[in-house]
Amino acid sequence: MPRLINRRPARAAATGLAVLPFLLAAVVYLTASQWRLAANPDDKLLPSPAAMVEAVGRLAFEPDRRSGGYVFWRDTAASLGRLLSGVGWAALIGLVFGVAVGLLPYLRAALTPFIAVLSMIPPLAVLPILFIVLGLGETAKIALIAIGIAPFLIRDLALQVEALPAEQLIKAQTLGANTAQIVCRVVLPQALPRLIDAVRLALGSAWLFLIAAEAIAATEGLGYRIFLVRLYLAMDVILPYVAWITVLAYAMDWALRLAKDRLFPWARAT
Amino acid sequence: MAWLSIRNLWLCFGEQVVLERIDLDVEAGSFCTIVGASGCGKSSFLRILLGELTPTRGRVLLDGRPLPAEPGPDRGVVFQRYSVFPHLTAEENVAVGLELARARWLGRCFGRRRRALLAEARRWLEEVGLGAAARRYPAQLSGGMQQRLAIAQALAVAPRLLLLDEPFGALDPGVRADMHALVGGLWRRLGMTVFMVTHDIQEAFALGTRVLVFDKVRLDPQAPGAYGATITYDLPLDRRRTPAETEQVAARCRRTEAFLGGAG
């Protein structure tokens, strides 16, 4: 009898095992939902799949009576726009400061403690300040996401740049490289795939900050809608919206992983 | 004055003396091999020549001028590991040195200029026997091939001084013999000066025109860091020697080996 750590599922079995928890969760939900609806057909807590499809269909494919737009898609576009701007700014800030702090000893000495302190500020505690200073518009929400994940990206990237073998930097100098050339040819190309990995790790937090900002001040967006319909206990909208957010987040993670493998094939081999 | 001249060089880290009283004159075109026990400062000596470490005392003159305090294109280097860039293919690894000299800011050329440099890089790869691997990334190359690549990369920018820090230490014996033939041949043809640190005394005698043995002559058991290593043996070898001299050198080699107590 081989040890447990040496027993591996075959390929088909592994796929089956991966699907199993999803199936189980679905079965548990459907059973509970049916059971509750049988006791009370007006129960709002665990709506049936049909009710959810109908609710989302109404939001996605019927124009809103007041605004004339399709609420579901407008929410999606608004949230994705905010998220991508926030993450984009954070990635840019993370790359610039991460590389600078990781590579230049003077900047490292000057900024490392400051960034370590900054990263300990809870971003949600800063949200009121952002609303006061930047107003209730898009800027404050994008700023919250950027402020929320940028310190992590800076620190992660700075560590990654510092971890580059010293031999590489010396080698580049013996090939005649100046600092700018070392950044362009040695550090940046190796920092980019690591930035993608760091962004993947930070995506969860980015969604958290997005939903929080939308819950407090917005007129559209996935997070706004969830908190709005909460007032009517509209679980038939909330649950599909949560699932949709999860799908979007997972798709982004997957796309980033694919982009990294395509753009930086060498990073997979090492 | 000799091409490379070192006078009373000391290297200390705080209280600890690593190298002391090193005097050395080396003519251009020499192949100096450096042997010594582990931790005797032979790599530190190489890193001083490289410009990575600054000597605590003494002076190093290269061609009559003080050695610059940071690495530069006049001194090439091959380390035991991490000598090549993992994100560049073999041909890009060699071409990058050529591009750096031509593109001041980005360090990258485009279009026809880049293609010409890549062609030149491939000629270097042919030279070291990597012609067929031009498009591969270092991670796809064996240890020996990576070191060949590192040598081609260093030589492509035509350094006057080539520094090798145990370049073949991690290679199999058979591969190492091939590398000796390669490095010996390139050195004879290109006429640069070489310093090579090695653990392998056979290698030191097989390749060098001059073998430098680093060791501590003074030792205080109460304070192991109080004295540093210096050059204890400086053995010039004539590459075109007679059989009688060969025997003499071999005898010296045996003595040195006995002296080092198998530390190498």
Please return the burial class of A188, using the count of CB atoms within 10 Å of its CB with bins 0-12, 13-18 and 19+: middle
Residue with tokens 């100046």, as numbered in its chain: A178
Give the domain ranges of chain A: 71-269
Q: For position B171, what pLDDT does the model report? A: 86
Identify the pLDDT of residue B253: 58
Which pLDDT belongs to residue B15? 86
B100 and chain A in contact, CB less than 8 A: yes
Would you call A181 and B157 a contact, using CB atoms and an 8 Å cutoff? no
Set out the domains of chain B in order of their start, with CATH numbers: 29-55+68-74+161-264 (3.40.50.300), 85-158 (no CATH)
Note which residues in 170-199 of chain A have CB less than 8 A from chain B: 170-178, 180-182, 184-186, 189-190
Which overall architecture, per CATH, does domain A71-269 show? Answer: Orthogonal Bundle (1.10)
CB B149 within 8 A of CB B91: no
Identify from A175, A195, A260 which residue to disrupt to test chain B contact, counting B C-beta atoms within 10 A and taking the largest count. Answer: A175
* Neighbouring residues of B172: CB distance < 8 A, sequence distance ≥ 6: B144
CA-based nearest distance B87→chain A, Å: 6
Residues B100 and B114: their CA atoms lie apart, in Å, by 11
By the CB < 8 Å criterion, does B103 face chain A?
Answer: yes
CA distance A167 to chain B (A): 6
What is the rounded CA–CA span in Å between residue A144 and residue B12? 51
Q: With contacts defined as CB-CB under 8 Å, which chain A residues touch B96?
A: 175, 185
- Cα-trace Rg, chain B: 19
pLDDT score recorded for residue B264: 38
pLDDT tens-digit readout, B132-151: 999 999 999 999 999 999 99
- Residue A235 CA to residue A240 CA, distance in Å, equals 8
Secondary structure of residue B248 in the 3-state scheme = helix
β-strand partners of B22: B9
Which of A31-52 are b and which e, b meaning 16 or more Cβ less than 10 Å from the residue's Cβ?
eebeebbeeeeeeeebbbeebb
- Spans of chain B, pLDDT less than 50: 262-264
Q: Under an 8 A CB cutoff, do A190 and B87 touch?
A: yes
Burial A121-135 (b: 16+ CB within 10 A, else e): eebeeebeebbeeee
Q: What is the mean pLDDT of each run of 10 residues along chain A (270 residues)?
A: 91 95 96 94 91 92 86 95 97 97 96 94 93 92 96 96 95 95 95 96 96 92 94 93 96 96 83
Q: Is A105 within 8 Å of chain B by CB?
A: no
User: With contacts defined as CB-CB under 8 Å, which chain A residues touch B161?
Assistant: none
SS3 state at B122:
helix
Please tell me whether the interface predicted TM-score (ipTM) of this complex is above 0.95: no
Q: B157 — contact with chain A (CB < 8 Å)?
A: yes
Which residue on chain B is closest to A266 by alpha carbon? Answer: B87
- Min Cα distance B76 → chain A (Å) is 5
